[in-house]
Structure 1
Amino acid sequence: MNAWHVHADLMGRYLSGSLDPALAMSVDAHLGGCAACRAAVPYEEEWLAGGWQRLADEAGLPASGPAERLLLRAGLPGHLARLVTATPTLSRAWLVAVVAVLAFGVIAARQTDQALPLFLVLAPVLPPAGIAAAYGPRVDPAHEMLAATPLSGARLLLTRSTAVLATAFALAGLASPLLPAPPWLSAAWLLPALALTSGCLALSTRVPLPLAAFAAAGLWLTGVAAAAGAAGDWRVSFHPAAQILYGCAALLLTVLAYRRRDRLDPGEPR
């Protein structure tokens, strides 16, 4: 049984964080074995929040950025908001590269109608390319640490893939109205992008993720070139019949990737 208890003045200094480390550790040890003194510790949300903030300050944790705060306001849990904004792909360099590619496509299309296919063909490739750099030991410095957490594997990959896909879609969506084309044609990259993304994830259950992304992009570019050569019209890959095919492919490949989700971990050897 404890022979002494933490008096009010000492408890106040302990709760305010003003005790020296040795004395604070002594009070910690006492509280672990004394229910009466533990009952004197207030359970107030404001006090707990202040304690966690002091801990974050002492540990040197980075402050939340604008993107993370926006996700928090949108209702995303704090750990997922930080995980999404820490995705390696969503770096400033990658975002600048995506904007540059889209801007080049738009400018070229506005200069000549013959350059319009450039935008429509490249836009679907951006999401799988970004997803390939979203997770894995070669691209994520914290991969080994994250691999030991419950978020590793398929859950982490799908979370980051969703963030990359949403970002790429948002940027390409902002660029589409600037194209000198009818609305239906300006948006004709959407379903191919979904199909390529689903195909990339489904294929990554068999081969490493970068190889899956490269293969999906290669099949897309080869297929568009072959269809244009056979029909004599580059628009054939974006006609309504082709859009239906892309939509069905995206759905089927998404189901396949989900059913094989236990293998959606590019960090594991095949």
Structure 2
Amino acid sequence: MTGWHAPDDLVTRYADGSLPEADAWSLETHLENCGPCAVRVSHAARAGAAGVMLAQVRGAVLNAVREPAPATARTPAPATTQVPVSASAPAVPRGARAVGGRLARIAWAAGPALRGAWSAAVVLVAVGAVALAYGGGSASARPFLLAVAPIVPVAGVALSYGRHADPLHEIVAASPSGGLRLLLMRTSAVLAVSLPLLTAAGLLLPPSGSRLPAAPAAATWLLPGLALTLASLVLSGYVGCRNATAVVGGGWLLALAAPALSATGSGLTARLTQQLSLYFTGASLQGGWAAAAALCALLLAARRSAYDRLETM
């Protein structure tokens, strides 16, 4: 607890929902460690428009608890089947329950992508590339992985945020913890899964071989993938999350496929490898991707208020 306490106008605006998102987060952090301010916020909420509804809900709950449960006829079980609880199942330690509950909350906050088929698809891409290289003897495994890897986190963002992905999206996004904060948290979870897994798979892949041009290194896709993901977040503020990720992901695939398919004179794998080198290889190209990622991050910070009610209507 500190010597500072929230002013009355701040408490009132928080209770009626008119406090800006950043100030609401700051006040919620303060309330976790300040009992007097938490009591004042509780009183303000009860005195506001929601107070009547809260009182009705509280009264209904108390009435339901006080009423005796209806008696039901039950057939007594034989004495031989009555086993003490402690003997039938071992007690779960309180610490284990707390850890399990915390992990469940983290998994839920991480978003639908990590709980759905997207995580399995990422594993399938990584394992499939390694199996294609070693089991099938294919030289196209590394170009294929590098071509798909930058848009894998973009697809994860599309499956993590929005009405189409989360049945509770409107409720969660309208809360003080929603908006850009929730979008960035779920994007971070997607990146935390896809970046190390796909990079490790790229490191395990063998070289392209003497008949093909050298493919870019396994980690050269990281900055492009980060820049494309941030670009999809910026565009989401204008056209929505699903449309933005479709535009960014489709644009990347088109930028790779169109030159590789239109060129002639060598195999498709060689042309794709050459195209990837044009996008990934070289300090200047990597610096450009880093600058693009930084610019997108600045745009996100500048337009953070546009995400407060993103896809809530």
- Same-fold call, TM > 0.5? yes
Q: What secondary structure is seen at the aligned counterpart in 2 of 1:177?
A: helix
Alpha-carbon offset, residue 227 of structure 1: 5.5
Tell whether 2:266 aligns with 1:220: no
* Contact 2:236–2:244, Cα closer than 8 Å, also in 1: yes
Cα distance between partner residues in 2 of 1:120 and 1:189: 6
Which residue in the other structure is 1:43 paired with?
none
Cα distance between partner residues in 1 of 2:101 and 2:129: 29
* Contact 1:194–1:250, Cα closer than 8 Å, also in 2: yes
Question: Given the superposition, is the C-alpha separation of residues 66 and 187 from structure 1 closer, same or farther in structure 2, using an over 3 Å criterion?
Answer: farther
Read off the aligned partner of 1:130 and give its amino acid letter: G
150, 154, 173: which one pairs with 1:124? 150
**Mapping of 1:98-247 within 5 angstroms?**
98-110=122-134, 111-181=137-207, 185-226=217-258, 228=260, 233-234=274-275, 235-240=277-282, 241-247=284-290
82, 91, 95: which one pairs with 2:115? 91
What TM-score comes out, normalization by structure 1 length?
0.65
Which residue in the other structure is 1:263 paired with?
306
CA offset digits 1:11-34 (Å, max 9, x no partner): xxxxxxxxxx649xxxxxxxxxxx
Alpha-carbon offset, residue 108 of structure 1: 2.8
Cα distance between partner residues in 2 of 1:123 and 1:141: 28
Question: Given the superposition, is the C-alpha separation of residues 67 and 213 from structure 1 closer, same or farther in structure 2, using an over 3 Å criterion?
Answer: farther
Question: Given the superposition, is the C-alpha separation of residues 116 and 66 from structure 1 closer, same or farther in structure 2, using an over 3 Å criterion?
Answer: farther
Cα distance between partner residues in 1 of 2:148 and 2:194: 12
Alpha-carbon offset, residue 260 of structure 1: 1.1
* Contact 1:98–1:126, Cα closer than 8 Å, also in 2: yes
Cα distance between partner residues in 2 of 1:123 and 1:160: 18
Read off the aligned partner of 1:132 and give its amino acid letter: A
Read off the aligned partner of 1:167 and give its amino acid letter: V
Which residue in the other structure is 1:254 paired with?
297
Cα distance between partner residues in 2 of 1:149 and 1:93: 27
Read off the aligned partner of 2:126 and give its amino acid letter: L
Which residue in the other structure is 2:14 paired with?
none
* Contact 1:227–1:237, Cα closer than 8 Å, also in 2: no
Alpha-carbon offset, residue 252 of structure 1: 0.9
What TM-score comes out, normalization by structure 2 length?
0.57
Q: Percent identity?
A: 37
Question: Given the superposition, is the C-alpha separation of residues 254 and 169 from structure 1 closer, same or farther in structure 2, using an over 3 Å criterion?
Answer: same
Cα distance between partner residues in 2 of 1:130 and 1:150: 23
* Contact 2:107–2:114, Cα closer than 8 Å, also in 1: no
CA RMSD across the alignment:
3.0
Cα distance between partner residues in 1 of 2:215 and 2:99: 38
Cα distance between partner residues in 2 of 1:170 and 1:92: 19
How many correspondences in the alignment?
Answer: 201
Q: What secondary structure is seen at the aligned counterpart in 1 of 2:127?
A: helix
* Contact 2:232–2:245, Cα closer than 8 Å, also in 1: yes
Q: What secondary structure is seen at the aligned counterpart in 2 of 1:204?
A: helix
Q: What secondary structure is seen at the aligned counterpart in 2 of 1:149?
A: coil
CA offset digits 1:134-187 (Å, max 9, x no partner): 121121112233134211211111111111111111221331221114896111
Question: Given the superposition, is the C-alpha separation of residues 98 and 63 from structure 1 closer, same or farther in structure 2, using an over 3 Å criterion?
Answer: farther
* Contact 1:227–1:236, Cα closer than 8 Å, also in 2: no
Cα distance between partner residues in 2 of 1:128 and 1:159: 14
